Structure 1
Amino acid sequence: MSLQTLVGLAPLTVAGAAAMTFGAAYVRGLTGFGMAIILVPLLGLIMTPGEAVVLGILLQLLIGPVGIRIILADADRATALPIALLAMATTPIGMVALHATTPDLARLLITIVAVGAFVAVLLPKQAAGHRPGRGAVAGTGIASGILTGFAAMPGPPVVPFYLRRHLEPKVARASMLLIFFGTAIAGTLAALWVGIATRRLFLLAVILFVPMWLGNYVGARHFGRVPPHVWQAMVAVVLGVAAVSAVVRLLN
């Protein structure tokens, strides 16, 4: 049985998806986020937005356990755990919305999300020692869950939540990765419930696991070798590039 028969994509298209996945996973390993923000719009060029969202969630599920011991040790669990639980609970809402949305509207909304994340991370930092209240934690978790289900993008509410606080990069990075693993679990279950997680997408996720693991490994190796202010600047650049590319794809 040919590769195209198994996953519905030509071998060269799968190779292109592997290259996209490697690059997005490198960003994830380096910054703690960004894989879905970068990858889902790119995958949308070779499949429907709904399929791209589900594939993005499946890939995040597969990569989630990698380095989980370090993630649990470094994360700000006082905020990361409640945000993750709320996000997991609200992910099905976004999945239902995606299932009921036309592809063109889905592309527009995903573009708005990408642009909004870039703008939010540019907002001034909170005062030193600031601890977010329950409302901020709850709002971040709910928004992250809905965006997970709708766009496989839990990051837009979560990244500014941590980047605007005075935290060590390793704490911010681990906190985000912990939340994203939780949303990947919930997103996969919701996709199965709605019926849009197909055998073909599962097989494609398994095929793309190797380039994803390699990209994440290289990115994680580079993490910590740059000063904190450079790391934060790189985060902003990643969000900016994702926002610009999303707008360009929408206009085209």
Structure 2
Amino acid sequence: MFGFSPEAIAVAIVAAIAAGFVRGLAGFGLSVVLVPVLQLAIEPSAAVLVGIISLFLIGLTDIGRIHREADRSAIPITVIALACMPLGLWALVSLDPAWARVLIAMVSLGAFVLVVVPLGKIALPRYPAMGLSGFFTGFFGGFAGMPGPGMAPFYLRGRLEPRVARASMMAIFLVVTPLSALFFVWQDIGGWDEMELAALLFPAVLFGDWFGHRAFGRVSKTQWQVTTALVLGGAALGAVWKLLA
């Protein structure tokens, strides 16, 4: 079905529900959950493309929220990310698939570490922080289909309210993901099979996302940050455990 085995599709559906929940709760994390699991069943480049398309499709459901609540910092971060995304894609296609799987799992784990590690007195000024966020958002988006780890530290550690931080990350995804997907197809990395699989998974992503949105409205800022970190940590450890097993 859709060029993939029934086992791969079953794994993808379960991962899509969990990924949708994380995205609805945190504003990012769909690919952090979906890609590391999915790339154990299909080629890493195909998993990345499915994750990118899924991010775009779910982003279309939140255009109204993004317009009302997103912060202007999303604009420069998006521009920088688009410029750096080809570098990540080059790294993805240049590496052996086995190494790509390992590094994708490490990106998932790194997303958790960057959110929870104490920074002490280290604090970057706003503009350099946005620049670094844009670079890593683009690189991780191209390499692993995970723009979230690049922008999560900036928004989760910043002074913005959770609803504004969440909408800002959703805004970046909405612009970056379709252009990234087109770049993949232009480079002949994936095609209709990945698009059809992403469309098949969309109801599962939407289902999980609905529960994530409901959970978000019931937690405080601290609870949101802690919950997001715990969910990312669990997803990262799960991906690493599956990879080693």
Query: What letter is aligned with 2:114?
Result: A
SS state at 2:60 partner:
coil
Q: Which residue of 2 aligns with 1:53?
A: 48
Greater mean alpha carbon deviation, residues 97-106 or residues 239-248:
239-248
- How far, CA to CA, are the matches of 1:228 and 1:32 in structure 2? 13
- Of residues 214, 218, 238, the one that matches 1:225 is 218
Q: Which residue of 2 aligns with 1:95?
A: 89
- How far, CA to CA, are the matches of 1:8 and 1:158 in structure 2? 32
Q: Which residue of 2 aligns with 1:198?
A: 191
Instruction: Name stretches of at least 5 consecutive residues in structure 1 with no aligned partner.
Output: none
- Of residues 4, 13, 17, the one that matches 1:8 is 4
**Partners of 1:80 and 1:175 within 8 A in 2:** yes
Query: What letter is aligned with 1:160?
Result: P
Identity %: 42
Query: What letter is aligned with 1:64?
Result: G
- How far, CA to CA, are the matches of 1:106 and 1:19 in structure 2? 23
Question: What's the TM-score once normalised by structure 2's chain length?
Answer: 0.92
Query: What letter is aligned with 2:22?
Result: V
Greater mean alpha carbon deviation, residues 106-115 or residues 143-152:
106-115
**Partners of 2:8 and 2:38 within 8 A in 1:** no
What are the Cα deviations for residues 197-233 of structure 1, in whole angstroms up to 9, with x where unaligned? Answer: 3111111111111111122122112222112211111
**Partners of 1:123 and 1:164 within 8 A in 2:** no
Q: Which residue of 2 aligns with 1:148?
A: 141
Quick check: 1:40 aligned with 2:24?
A: no
Alignment of 1:48-87 (within 5 A): 48-77=43-72, 79-87=73-81
- Of residues 101, 105, 108, the one that matches 1:111 is 105
C-alpha change, 1:132 and 1:80, in structure 2 (3 Å) is farther
**Partners of 1:125 and 1:166 within 8 A in 2:** no
What are the Cα deviations for residues 123-147 of structure 1, in whole angstroms up to 9, with x where unaligned? Answer: 34799xx994322211110111011
**Partners of 2:19 and 2:33 within 8 A in 1:** yes
- For these two proteins, the number of residue pairs brought into alignment is 244
* Runs ≥4 residues deviating over 6 A: none
Quick check: 1:251 aligned with 2:230?
A: no
Deviation of 1:30 (Å): 1.2
Query: What letter is aligned with 1:50?
Result: S
Query: What letter is aligned with 1:8?
Result: F
Query: What letter is aligned with 1:243?
Result: A
What are the Cα deviations for residues 71-100 of structure 1, in whole angstroms up to 9, with x where unaligned? Answer: 1211112x1111012112221221122111
Deviation of 1:115 (Å): 2.2
What are the Cα deviations for residues 156-175 of structure 1, in whole angstroms up to 9, with x where unaligned? Answer: 12111111112211011111
Q: What is the root-mean-square deviation in Å for CA atoms of aligned residues?
A: 1.9
- How far, CA to CA, are the matches of 2:107 and 2:214 in structure 1? 29
- How far, CA to CA, are the matches of 2:141 and 2:161 in structure 1? 25
- How far, CA to CA, are the matches of 2:120 and 2:79 in structure 1? 24
- How far, CA to CA, are the matches of 2:126 and 2:223 in structure 1? 28
- How far, CA to CA, are the matches of 1:117 and 1:204 in structure 2? 25
**Partners of 1:76 and 1:172 within 8 A in 2:** yes
Query: What letter is aligned with 1:194?
Result: Q
